[in-house]
């Protein structure tokens, strides 16, 4: 066998080995993908079936979302966040940050509640933040935080419909429908 033939055979062997490795790798990836896809499908079916084993987690999610609504209410935020030497703008910024942190802390609860309910909760959070942002333009940041706090509470009490109350009612309604099943 000549050097040229052995070089060609060596190149063919390299190509076969590389091709085999690629095929083996692809088959492993496809096998893992198919397995994961089947597991996700099984979980989806189990979730849609509303299996009894999911009820405690769903109820816990409803409880956590009710607590979330309570924690982001303006009076509760003021009570938790206001300090004696705090300026009004600092209080309002602290409130915005606290609302966002509470929301992020409860993001996983959307796995256990319906999409419409999660949208209601998210909308309530957004409306509270919008109200605080809107009132920041109307409040003198040099005034004492107790005056700002009183103004915020009065401002929120004048809403035609409290978004947090709407969210809490929706949470309770969905929880009751789960329990009655």
Is residue 125 within 8 A of residue 95, CB to CB? The reply is no
**How distant, in Å, are the alpha carbons of 54, 113, 122, 178 from that of 47?**
7, 11, 22, 13
**Residues 25-58: tens digit of each pLDDT:** 777 777 877 777 777 766 665 555 455 678 899 9
**pLDDT at 86 > cutoff 70:** yes
Please name which of 66, 52, 40 lies closest in space to residue 120, comparing C-alpha atoms.
66
Domain boundaries, the chain: 1-49, 54-180
- Percentage of residues of the chain with pLDDT beyond 90: 44
**76 vs 25 pLDDT, higher one:** 76
**pLDDT at 121 > cutoff 70:** yes
Strands (E), 5-160: none
**How distant, in Å, are the alpha carbons of 9, 73, 102, 114, 130 from that of 125?**
69, 9, 10, 17, 9
User: What burial class does residue 125 get, using C-beta atoms within 10 Å of its C-beta: 0-12 exposed, 13-18 middle, 19+ buried?
Assistant: buried
Band of residue 105 on the pLDDT scale cut at 50, 70, 90: very high
Give the mean pLDDT of the chain. Answer: 86
pLDDT at 44: 63
């Amino acid at each position: 066998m000549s050097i040229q033939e052995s070089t060609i055979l060596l190149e063919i062997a390299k190509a076969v080995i590389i091709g085999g490795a690629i095929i083996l790798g692809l088959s492993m990836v496809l096998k893992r993908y198919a397995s994961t896809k089947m597991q996700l499908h099984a979980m989806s079916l189990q979730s849609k079936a509303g299996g009894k084993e999911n009820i405690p987690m769903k109820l816990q999610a409803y409880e956590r979302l009710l607590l979330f609504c309570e924690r982001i209410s303006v009076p509760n935020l003021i009570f938790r966040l206001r300090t004696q030497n705090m300026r009004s703008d600092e209080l309002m910024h602290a409130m915005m940050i606290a609302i966002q942190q509470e929301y992020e802390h409860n993001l996983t609860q959307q796995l256990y509640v319906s999409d419409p309910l999660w949208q209601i909760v998210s909308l309530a959070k957004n409306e509270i933040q919008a109200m605080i942002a809107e009132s920041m333009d109307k409040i003198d940041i040099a005034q004492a935080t107790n005056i700002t706090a009183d103004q915020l509470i009065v401002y929120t009490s004048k809403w035609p419909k409290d978004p947090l109350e709407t969210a809490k009612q929706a949470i309770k309604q969905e929880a009751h429908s789960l329990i009655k099943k």
